[in-house]
Amino acid sequence: MFKKILIANRGEIACRVAATAARLAIRTVAVYSDADAGAKHVQACDEAVHIGGSAPKDSYLRWEKIIEVAKATGAQAIHPGYGFLSENEAFARACAVAGLVFIGPPPSAILAMGLKAESKQLMEKAGVPLVPGYHGSGQGAALLQSEADRIGYPVLIKASAGGGGKGMRAVDKSEDFADALASCKREAINSFGDDAVLIEKYVQRPRHIEIQVFGDTQGNYVYLFERDCSVQRRHQKVLEEAPAPGMTQAMREQMGAAAVAAARAVNYVGAGTVEFIVEQKPDGSMTFFFMEMNTRLQVEHPVTEAITGLDLVEWQLRVASGEPLPLQQSELKINGHAIEARICAETPDNNFLPATGTLHVYGLPPCTTFALANQGVRVDSGVRQGDTISPFYDSMVAKLIVHGSTREEALARMDAALMQTHIVGLATNVQFLRHVVGSASFATAQLDTALIPREADVLFNQDKVGLPLAAAALVAHTLDQEARKVQVADAQGWIDPWARRDGWRSHGASLRSFSAVYQEQPELLQLTRAHTKGLLLQTQGKTEPLQFERLKKDGLSGALDITFGNQRIQAQVYDHGEVLHVFTPLGATTITRVDALAHAGDTHSEGGRLTAPMPGKVVSFAVKAGDVVKKGQPLAIMDAMKMEHTIAAPADGVVAELLFAPGDQVTEGAELLRLELPEKATA
């Protein structure tokens, strides 16, 4: 076994690998960029070495520098994690030349499976079923258009060297193909340095089921069962679970055998994932087609660990050091059900636009950091409270994994764990994940890659709390804070009654107003304190009695037990500037407490400005100065956090000026172009 390894990655996967290495008494070396100087993975390892600037190309993709660091620190092997260099055949070869073990498959396997078109041809020879499509080397636009027309729409364009949904577009009709192809090629060249694509028939209501495989240097292979990864947005996974609901033992064995055949065909070593598209027919039967092989550990590997009780990183280390597979196929068993949710910094209600910011509050459910006991909760995370989610890397904050004896238990445990996940400081998808887990389709395992758009009405723009409870939480939290600040006893234990700020009167009632903004609408809240009736709160013209008490005494942000009218709820409230973040069992929401004096004179007119929603790079403009545009028309394309984002016209108008050029880096809020609105254009 190795004595020291270098982890050529960052974030939660670097922390994850370091945890197993520490358990096996293997010393670890971290590498880090400028942006990650204080990152969690740096502290998780025994040593850490700075390797360059914040952008991946200046640090985590500098494989020559990484190899230099590995040799200088005495590391015997390099674990690439996933992403970055994990599927880089040149890096794997360079490790071998430098006398270092690449903890992954041989370079030949990476090369064979790295290009989707070539891998499809290889799998066809190995007898693995394929989706009808075009996997040829010809890449002319006219040829690709004719092949798509031949296959029949809808088709899926996929970057041949890609992954993670980048360089991938579904096309419903022939006239949309050219624009989609151009976008795919542009994104593919930016992400992978290769704009080659393949085209496949787009299977209607497909399921995405993958098989975890392992091979060793002695030629032994096993599959560690399947994972269902059908719930996706932008072709990227949101929720994963194991085993796949509805999977029969016969189907599992067929898919497992096909996955092992794929691994054997390229003499695979280590952990890999063979991904299949599964078509579910009206009679309930399923047909599977090879999609691709990921020659690395997957983001969703913890659900496989949960149902097998195995540490897959340990298996990677043992196999890479020359040991045989720890278990044979007959010794592998499925225990219970596991689900993983990817918690990301993004705004689901705004087309999942990635978000950046500081984790001012990062509250997690009671959990383990790695060793997942049966029917437990696990969190894999590469950040801590106070850390910043930057625009340089992907938007994933953490992975929340639950395990139960049945799928129903796992579902309940996942909802409870998401409810206990409190993040303040940037937008996340936590509440969206709760909506997905609670949706009819997911709860009843009606899974396919269209689940999210199909359930859109119950997934997006959902506020389960509502103004009355949000207002009650605002008032209760404000009064509680005020009381705790002034009700301080002196040395004799006496509290000055005249210092109270609770509105108490010797006779009559007191009235207090609170200005708030909820769901972008101004609200006036009226609180009456009466001797006989206690607190009465008026919202939207309706008055109800209000009672509350603090459940925890460990800080001003403790949970409150609130009764408002006929509703009783526990709420955890956090201040973030004027915005109050309210977390309840029903869901979470925000309400803004407005200081009217502080905002006197504010103006909010933006005119015809169009600004960058987040830091990134301008890819292209679709218009020029003087063009007449319609509301919703694409104006510009930005690249941020590894994804392209289209900036559209908010209204009809005329383009007055372009303020940047393609290739320019822009900060969040930077004005990209100016529009003259109709009244200005005709003035």
DSSP 380-441: EES--TT-EE-TTS--EEEEEEEEESSHHHHHHHHHHHHHT-EEESS--SHHHHHHHHHSHH
| Tokens 């670097």 found at | 14
Q: Are 495 and 485 in contact (CB under 8 A)?
A: no
Q: Provide the pairing of β-strand 422-424 with 346-347.
A: unpaired
Q: What value, to the nearest 5°, has the Cα angle with vertex 200 and ends 195 and 205? A: 125
Bridge partners for 208 per DSSP:
277
**Which of 62, 227, 252, 296 is flagged as catalytic?**
296
Q: Please state the φ and ψ torsions of residue 580, each to the nearest 5 degrees.
A: -100, 125
Is 362 strand, coil or helix?
A: strand
Distance CA 74, CA 93 (A): 19
Rounded CA separation 489/534 (Å): 24
Is 315 buried (19+), middle (13-18) or exposed (0-12) by CB count in 10 A? buried
Angle at 169 (CA atoms; ends 295, 644), nearest 5 degrees: 90
Q: What is the C-alpha separation between 387 and 27, in angstroms, rounded?
A: 25
CB half-sphere exposure, 300, CA atoms < 13 A: 29
Say how many C-beta atoms besides its own lie within 10 A of residue 526's C-beta.
15
Distance CA 273, CA 225 (A): 10
CA dist 44 and 17 (Å) reads 10
Within 10 A of 230 (CB to CB), how many other CB atoms are there? Answer: 28
Backbone φ, ψ for residue 385 (5° rounding) = -60, 135
Catalytic annotation present for 186: no
| 8-state DSSP, 244 | P
Token duo for residue 463: 């506020």
- Closest to 341 measured CA to CA, from 368, 390, 375, 379: 379
> What is the rounded distance in angstroms from the CA atom of residue 234 to the CA atom of residue 164?
9
Rg, Å, the chain Cα set: 28
348, 459 contact by CB (below 8 A): yes
What is the set of active-site residues?
296
